[in-house]
């Protein structure tokens, strides 16, 4: 059996939503976009949502709407699952400044951000990595605008509040392999109507003749229809991810000595993937054995900072992290096959003993 590391969960109602718009002929502009924005804002718990063409477009617009530009600095985590954060900072002409993450959750460290901030710091971009809510209130207390990156975390919550409602602004990605999809797309969300209006103004240049730079970042009506269909199913998708993650986590719990730690047992987290920490030598052996058996495990994160030695917490995590798919399109048979492959990989690697977490 071959199992993809990620896969969208597309169902018949998604096809029907797409066909409805296809048959209407209004595949580009149309009412689905405004409806999706309203429904997304309600889900996130904010007043304003601006649907756009991708997660990168959302982050670029959020930074531009905050007035970030040439000569400014934006603080980012030193590692990420995607370089889009760094690239969006470059796109507005600003300079990315990297800070260390917490060992507990792989999210941006407020202490590290405080140490990295200068008079030129105009924003912080804080992802909720692998669906684990970041401490946005602690970052916000530094007095710098915070953009939440919710690409892997829609439906998660911090102290009962939805992620995306905690910062100055929030961005979402609805790419095919995210927690829900609009095939491709994204959104900027904010409680600040002026910020949202600014992002909305910048997302498209049609009928704008005031000599101001704008972008072709609008979401298509066809994508919005799929997004609306998927958004209705988000609670079921997240519940299925929790079920799968717990089944796979049981494999490690049953393996004997508990020399591993799950990153996700945090109140309000969602499972973009199941993320574990294993002793470095054990992690490397398990990864190798999993590759031999075509079990899709990963280290997930990549360095976006150029000097890894400056970030000890991130180095600690990068040597230990292991992620496993938990997407809702996995069938029960595939989950059982994954669990079996993990058991075999653990056994072949010599179990979980050996090394320091």
> How confident is the model at residue 115, as a pLDDT?
98
CATH of 234-348 among 3.10.110.10, 1.20.59.10, 3.90.1150.10, 3.30.1280.10: 3.90.1150.10
Burial of 45 (0-12, 13-18, 19+ CB in 10 A): middle
Burial of 23 (0-12, 13-18, 19+ CB in 10 A): exposed
What does the pLDDT look like over 56-102, one tens digit per residue?
999 999 999 999 999 999 999 999 998 999 999 999 999 999 999 99
Q: What is the Cα–Cα distance from 287 to 195, expressed in whole angstroms? A: 44
The reply to whether 12-232 and 234-348 are identical in fold is: no
Whether 343 is a known active-site residue: answer: no
What does the pLDDT look like over 173-200, one tens digit per residue?
999 999 999 999 999 999 999 999 999 9
Active-site position among 178, 232, 233, 273: 178
Chain-wide mean pLDDT for the chain?
Answer: 96
The pLDDT > 90 percentage for the chain reads 92
The CATH architecture one would assign to domain 12-232 is: 3-Layer(aba) Sandwich (3.40)
Burial of 207 (0-12, 13-18, 19+ CB in 10 A): exposed
User: What DSSP state is assigned to residue 210?
Assistant: S
User: What DSSP state is assigned to residue 131?
Assistant: G
What distances in angstroms separate CA 42 from CA 45, 159, 242, 271, one per listed residue?
5, 18, 23, 22
Q: What is the Cα–Cα distance from 99 to 94, expressed in whole angstroms? A: 16
All structural domains of the chain with their residue ranges: 12-232, 234-348
Would you place residue 357 in the very low, low, confident or very high pLDDT band (cuts 50, 70, 90)? confident
Q: What is the Cα–Cα distance from 107 to 130, expressed in whole angstroms? A: 9
User: What DSSP state is assigned to residue 178?
Assistant: S
Q: How many helices (H) and strands (E) does the chain have?
A: 12, 14
Cα dihedral across residues 179, 182, 185, 186: positive or negative: negative
What does the pLDDT look like over 302-337, one tens digit per residue?
999 999 999 999 999 999 999 999 999 999 999 999
Q: What's the pTM value of the predicted model, to 2 decimals?
A: 0.96
Kindly write down the DSSP assignment for every residue of 305-327, as one continuous string: SS-GGG-HHHHHHHTTEEEEE--
Structure tokens at 138: 């602690």
**Is a pLDDT exceeding 90 seen at residue 211?**
no
């Amino acid at each position: 059996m071959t199992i993809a590391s990620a896969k969208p969960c597309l169902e018949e109602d998604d096809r029907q939503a797409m066909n409805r718009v296809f048959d209407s002929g209004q595949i580009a502009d149309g009412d689905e976009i405004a409806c999706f924005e309203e429904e997304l804002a309600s889900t996130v718990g904010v007043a304003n949502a601006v649907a756009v063409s991708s997660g990168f477009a959302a982050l670029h617009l959020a930074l531009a709407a905050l007035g970030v530009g040439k000569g400014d600095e934006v603080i980012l985590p030193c590692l990420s699952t995607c370089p889009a954060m760094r690239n969006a900072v470059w796109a507005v002409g600003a300079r990315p400044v990297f800070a260390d993450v917490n060992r507990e959750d792989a999210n941006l460290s407020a202490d590290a951000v405080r140490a990295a901030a200068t008079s030129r710091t105009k924003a912080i971009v804080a992802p909720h990595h692998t669906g684990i809510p970041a401490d946005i209130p602690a970052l916000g207390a530094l007095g710098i605008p915070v953009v939440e990156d919710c690409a892997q975390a829609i439906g998660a919550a911090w102290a009962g509040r939805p992620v995306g409602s905690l910062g100055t602004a929030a961005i979402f990605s609805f790419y095919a392999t995210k927690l829900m999809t609009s095939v491709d797309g994204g959104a900027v969300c904010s409680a600040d109507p002026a910020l949202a209006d600014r992002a909305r103004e910048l997302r498209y240049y049609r009928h704008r003749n005031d000599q101001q730079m704008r972008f072709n970042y609008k979401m298509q009506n066809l994508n919005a229809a799929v997004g609306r269909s998927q958004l209705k199913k988000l609670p079921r998708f997240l519940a299925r991810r929790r079920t799968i993650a717990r089944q796979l986590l049981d494999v490690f719990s049953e393996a004997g000595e508990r020399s591993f730690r799950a990153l996700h047992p945090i109140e309000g987290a969602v499972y973009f993937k199941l993320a574990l920490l294993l002793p470095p030598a054990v992690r490397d052996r398990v990864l190798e054995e999993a590759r031999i058996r075509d079990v899709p495990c990963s280290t997930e994160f990549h360095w976006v900072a150029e000097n890894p030695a400056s970030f000890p917490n991130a180095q600690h995590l990068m040597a230990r992290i292991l992620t496993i798919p938990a997407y809702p399109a996995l069938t029960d048979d595939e989950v059982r096959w994954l669990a079996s492959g993990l058991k075999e990989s653990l056994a072949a690697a010599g179990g979980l003993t050996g090394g320091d977490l």
